[in-house]
C-alpha cells in the first residue's frame, strides 16, 4: 500500500484525478480493468461497493475486472471520495476483504453509519478506508502548501474543498495538526485487525 502513497504524496496540483488512481492500480498488474457505475442503492449505509468480475478474453485468457458501484448522489465530492476508497480496497490483502454476502453484511453493521447521518465526523464511517482515500486525494506535498496558504489567510477550508473536490469535513480533517498521527496509525490498525 505504501507504494501508492509514495506515488501520490508528491502531487501538488489538485484535484487528484480518480482516473490517475485507477491507472496506477491497473499499471501494477493487480487487476486487468476497473470500471465505475453509478447505481441506485437502498437508503442504507453504503455509498459504494466493490465487485469482482471475471471473464475470458479473446484468446482464452482470464480477465479480472473490478467494478466500483457508487450510490447515485448529486455530490461529486462524495462520489470521488467513495470511488477512491473502493479503488484502494483493490489493494487490500485477501484476508482483509469480504467475499460472501454474510461477510459484507457483517462489515456494513460494524464499520458504517447511515448515509443520512451526514457523517458529522469523517472517522465515523469506514474510517480507515476514508482516511486512506483522503491520504490520496489530499496528498502530502499539496497539504504542505495549502497549510501555509491557510495560515497566511490566503485561502479557506471551503475553497480548498472546492479545488480538491473533497467534502469539506474531510478537508478539515486533513488540515488538523493531528492528521499525520491518524495517517500513521492507519496501517497498524489494519495489521492488528
Average pLDDT for the chain: 75
Locate the DSSP E strands across 97-162: none
134-153 pLDDT per residue, tens: 999 999 999 999 999 999 99
Residue 12, phi then psi, degrees to nearest 5: -120, -15
Most confident of 45-54, 67-76, 151-160: 151-160
Task: Tell whether the model's pLDDT for residue 107 goes beyond 60.
Answer: no
d(CA 25, CA 7): 11
d(CA 193, CA 191): 5
d(CA 22, CA 19): 5
d(CA 59, CA 36): 25
Q: Could you tell me the end-to-end alpha-carbon distance of the chain, in angstroms, rounded to an integer? A: 16
Range of the domain at 175: 2-192
> How many structural domains does the chain have?
1
**What's the pLDDT band for 157 if we cut at 50, 70, 90?**
very high
Most confident of 32-36, 61-65, 126-130, 176-180: 176-180
93-102 pLDDT per residue, tens: 655 444 554 5
Task: Tell whether the model's pLDDT for residue 45 goes beyond 50.
Answer: no
What is the number of helices (H) and of strands (E) in the chain?
A: 9, 3
pTM strictly above 0.85: no
Of 4-18, 42-56, 122-136, 171-185, the least confident:
42-56
18-33 pLDDT per residue, tens: 999 999 999 998 888 7
CB 66 within 8 A of CB 31: yes
C-alpha distance from residue 166 to each of 17, 134, 173 (Å) = 11, 8, 11
Task: Tell whether the model's pLDDT for residue 164 goes beyond 50.
Answer: yes
**What's the pLDDT band for 120 if we cut at 50, 70, 90?**
very low
Amino acid at each position: 500500500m505504501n507504494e501508492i502513497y509514495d506515488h501520490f504524496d508528491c502531487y501538488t496540483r489538485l484535484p487528484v484525478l480518480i482516473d490517475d488512481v485507477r491507472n496506477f492500480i491497473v499499471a501494477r498488474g493487480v487487476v486487468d480493468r476497473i470500471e465505475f457505475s453509478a447505481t441506485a442503492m437502498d437508503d442504507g449505509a453504503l455509498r459504494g461497493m466493490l465487485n469482482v468480475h471475471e471473464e475470458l478474453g479473446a484468446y482464452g485468457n482470464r480477465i479480472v475486472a473490478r467494478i466500483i458501484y457508487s450510490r447515485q448522489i448529486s455530490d461529486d465530492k462524495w462520489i470521488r471520495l467513495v470511488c477512491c476508497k473502493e479503488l484502494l480496497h483493490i489493494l487490500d490483502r485477501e484476508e482483509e476483504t469480504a467475499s460472501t454476502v454474510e461477510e459484507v453484511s457483517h462489515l456494513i453493521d460494524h464499520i458504517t453509519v447511515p448515509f443520512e447521518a451526514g457523517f458529522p465526523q469523517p472517522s465515523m464511517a469506514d474510517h480507515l478506508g476514508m482516511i486512506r482515500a483522503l491520504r490520496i486525494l489530499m496528498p502530502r506535498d499539496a497539504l504542505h502548501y495549502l497549510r501555509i496558504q491557510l495560515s497566511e489567510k490566503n485561502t479557506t477550508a471551503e475553497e480548498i474543498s472546492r479545488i480538491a473536490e473533497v467534502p469539506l469535513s474531510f478537508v478539515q480533517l486533513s488540515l488538523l495538526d493531528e492528521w499525520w498521527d491518524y495517517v500513521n496509525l492507519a496501517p497498524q490498525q489494519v495489521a492488528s485487525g
